[in-house]
Amino acid sequence: MVSCLLGNLGKLPDDVVLSVDYYKEYGKDSLCLPKNSNYSNKNFYFVDDVLATGGTLEASKELINKCGGNFVGAGVYINIKELNHSNINYVEFV
């Protein structure tokens, strides 16, 4: 399992490996990964504070897959089911 931070463009150093654009409930944003790691064939478990539309979750899956990693699961602290109809409503550490 890899421990790393996915961040928004402008909040990480300029030397990012890859970034993806996605839409949130109030506009467009981007996620990126720092350049300091080899992500190929590593397992990733995504944890976020709030799941609203699911845009950040889907973007993280796309970004991890583009870097050659394996997206193995996700958990959130707060799920606004009225916006996404997802059954993810807890954080599970593996």
Domains of the chain, first to last: 7-84 (3.40.50.2020)
- The model carries a pTM of 0.72
| pLDDT computed for residue 39 by the predictor | 85
Residue 82 contacts residue 15 (beta carbons within 8 Å):
no
Q: What pLDDT is attached to residue 93?
A: 45
Tokens of 93: 């550490």
Q: What is the pLDDT along the chain (94 residues), one digit of tens a residue?
A: 445 556 555 655 656 667 788 887 778 888 887 776 788 898 988 888 888 888 888 888 898 888 888 988 888 888 888 887 666 655 554 4
Burial class from Cβ neighbours inside 10 Å (0-12, 13-18, 19+) for residue 4 reads middle
